[in-house]
Structure 1
Amino acid sequence: MPVLKKYKSRNHYDVFNGDADGICALHQFRLAYPAADAKLVTGVKRDITLLARIKDVTGSQITVMDLSMHSNMDYLAQLLEADNDILYIDHHFAGDIPHSARLKHHIDPSPDKCTSLIVDGMLNGKFRQWALCGAFGDNLHTTAQAIAAEMSLPAEDTKKLREIGELINYNGYGAQLQDLYFPPDQLFRVIEHYRNPLDFYDQSKTLKALKRGFSSDMDQALSHSEIKKMGKNKVYRFPDSPWARRVSGVFANLKARENPEGAHALITENNDETLRISVRAPLADRKNADTLCRSFPSGGGRAAAAGINTLPAHLLDSFFEAFTNTYD
């Protein structure tokens, strides 16, 4: 497998999205290729320009998981110029990938792929149950269920892997780390001790705490009906509250599964009077969420699921118009 050569004298950095896909992708990789000295660089799910935090690093080995290369391009170029060797694994829109002997990349933006599944392919399925956790967390339920069936996993085990993925993903949502139950680097440090996710499910007090928090937050979320219905498409709105920020992504995924022919948008109010928007393309046609969101300031994501971090309130009507035109 084409991974980077190890340099004993070099520092290691593991840079990864703080959601289920980022955590489960890195966990698989580090089970296969341990790097106990690696410095973890992560954050809330929407904190995607993480290479900015290490832009002045030189002469190091950097592994990047589940972060848009396009959103980090300037920092990536700077790091490559500074004698860093970089392995980049992702499933988001990449843009023009730099040509450099110091960059190895595995990028597949197919709508039925996530970073955990890409790593699973690189490792020939060695830790596939963790890959399924990442896929379930990334709302690739059909793909994950099909793989579980191929593995002849018992239904109860598959259900547990799904719950693990959804709970890890739930923990990644928030405007700031204080919104989360556990900072993603701490959660990774808990998970890294478990080769088998079913042991994590049975033994982890951390997972049990997430389960309690998720149940409480989802009860509040489900009390909110759609504010707009446009044919098959629906729009929801949540207040400026930590519970709303935590549960927004999982709620949007749930509504997408309930209504697979329709597109969904969830608006969550930010405390600076801007709006955070999560978009889910119809599960029956996973397209254009990324292009829709990138047409607005602070927008990005992938074809099936994307978002806008800080939409000025005066652009909301423009968003509704673009949402309708994209998914008419």
Structure 2
Amino acid sequence: MAAQDRIDVFNGDADGICALHQLRLHAPRPDARLITGPKRDIALLERIGAVSGQRITVLDISLDRNRDALIRLLARGNRVFYADHHFSGQAVVHDLLETHLDPAPDACTSLIVDRLLAGAHCLWAIAGAFGDNLDENARQYARSLGLAARQQEMLAEIGLLLNYNGYGLSEGDLLIPPAELFREVHRFDDPFAFHRRSGHLDRLRRNYAADMARAADLRPESTTGGGRVFRLPATAWANRTVGVIANELSREQPALAHAILLTRPDNSLRVSVRAPLATGQGADELCRRYASGGGRSAAAGIDRLPMAELAAFLADFARHFPPL
């Protein structure tokens, strides 16, 4: 099959990058067309266009948000491999479609791919799980492999920094374009060598420290019996850190849900929601009640919440996440 007949579509966060890296270590496609974007930019199948007879791999983006484009691609004779852990909605069944979907709270796409490859590149799966805020799952897997504490921290930092790079209102907010970051990751079979030698990772490390220092004094805007709400300023550093902050806050108070509000240039809000880590349930159900909302049970969001709907959302958040 010619290289131009191969397309890899993936979420530009840690989970999407680590999932694709595992697959391409197993089955290289050096000249595949890459389609990706910031973490929340998930309607990616629309970008493929009116192609036919191609082999398309889709990783870590919601089937529900890409359903119409997927059906059109299948109707044009494209063969599609689809692995994901977000809400998928009604199943799509087609002879040219292979799906591996697992919306369980302790699942991520890197771990789904790891199962399919029988652990062939499991260290990268662990890094992807760390990046998706599945720290306990990642550590259990790492301990089962006998990894030392320092090795676990290296994988955790890789996941954290790859995920940090994925957040932004546009690709212009990101420090490194996700396709470029994937290509850098893909230079390394060994994640520990990547951790030691990658200039890209070092750049992310330095910028992450500077961005998070700006968030050190963040305080909740409001609290409920079962959750906390924070608001970030309309700045590039806030755009980059919103997801990492949400994950850190949820680890800090695992019995509470969290909502992080970020003002967009059009004065609407981008909302990141984390279900209590203690349950890992309910974030996607809440966010899907709003236009442009979606995600997975443990972590979800709303891309554009009109300011006029904020009061209703906050009341909904309080009802949806009562005290545990």
TM-score using structure 2 length: 0.98
Q: Equivalent residue for 2:260?
A: 266
Please report how far the alpha carbon of residue 25 of structure 1 lies from its aligned counterpart in structure 2 after TM superposition: 0.2
| Partner SS for 1:88 | strand
Give per-residue Cα distances to partners, 1:149-185, cap 9 Å, x unaligned: 1001010000000000000000000011110100000
Would the aligned equivalents of 2:16 and 2:59 in 1 still touch at CA under 8 Å? Answer: yes
| Partner SS for 2:158 | helix
Would the aligned equivalents of 2:4 and 2:33 in 1 still touch at CA under 8 Å? Answer: no
Q: Equivalent residue for 2:276?
A: 282
Q: Which residue identity does 1:16 align to in structure 2?
A: F
**Matched ranges for 1:78-157 at <5 A:** 78-157=72-151
Aligned-residue sequence identity (percent) comes to 47
Please report how far the alpha carbon of residue 231 of structure 1 lies from its aligned counterpart in structure 2 after TM superposition: 2.0
Runs of 4+ in 1 over 2 A off after TM superposition: 7-10
Match among 195, 214, 217 for residue 189 of structure 2: 195
| Partner SS for 1:131 | helix
Q: Which residue identity does 2:196 align to in structure 1?
A: D
| Partner SS for 2:317 | helix
Query: Aligned pairs, how many?
Result: 322
The 2-side partners of 1:124 and 1:98 are apart by 26
Stretches of structure 2 lacking an aligned partner (at least 5 in a row): none
| Partner SS for 2:247 | helix
The 1-side partners of 2:253 and 2:47 are apart by 39
The 2-side partners of 1:229 and 1:8 are apart by 56
Please report how far the alpha carbon of residue 55 of structure 1 lies from its aligned counterpart in structure 2 after TM superposition: 3.5
Stretches of structure 1 lacking an aligned partner (at least 5 in a row): 1-6
Give per-residue Cα distances to partners, 1:64-109, cap 9 Å, x unaligned: 0000000000000000000100000000111122211100011110
Match among 298, 306, 312 for residue 304 of structure 1: 298
Give per-residue Cα distances to partners, 1:278-316, cap 9 Å, x unaligned: 000000011110010010111110000000011000000
The 2-side partners of 1:161 and 1:112 are apart by 18
Q: Which residue identity does 1:161 align to in structure 2?
A: L
Alignment of 1:165 onto 2:159: yes
Would the aligned equivalents of 1:275 and 1:311 in 2 still touch at CA under 8 Å? Answer: yes
Alignment of 1:257 onto 2:230: no
Please report how far the alpha carbon of residue 58 of structure 1 lies from its aligned counterpart in structure 2 after TM superposition: 1.4
Alignment of 1:316 onto 2:310: yes
The 1-side partners of 2:224 and 2:4 are apart by 55
Please report how far the alpha carbon of residue 8 of structure 1 lies from its aligned counterpart in structure 2 after TM superposition: 4.4
Alignment of 1:16 onto 2:13: no
Give per-residue Cα distances to partners, 1:9-47, cap 9 Å, x unaligned: 861000000000000000000000101121000000000
Would the aligned equivalents of 1:61 and 1:84 in 2 still touch at CA under 8 Å? Answer: yes
Alignment of 1:37 onto 2:25: no
Would the aligned equivalents of 2:231 and 2:261 in 1 still touch at CA under 8 Å? Answer: yes
Alignment of 1:236 onto 2:230: yes
CA-atom RMSD in angstroms: 0.9
| Partner SS for 1:279 | strand
Alignment of 1:176 onto 2:166: no
The 2-side partners of 1:37 and 1:63 are apart by 14
Would the aligned equivalents of 1:234 and 1:262 in 2 still touch at CA under 8 Å? Answer: yes
The 2-side partners of 1:196 and 1:127 are apart by 9
Q: Equivalent residue for 2:22?
A: 28
Would the aligned equivalents of 1:55 and 1:75 in 2 still touch at CA under 8 Å? Answer: no
Would the aligned equivalents of 1:45 and 1:172 in 2 still touch at CA under 8 Å? Answer: yes
Q: Which residue identity does 2:233 align to in structure 1?
A: P
TM-score using structure 1 length: 0.97
Would the aligned equivalents of 2:51 and 2:73 in 1 still touch at CA under 8 Å? Answer: yes
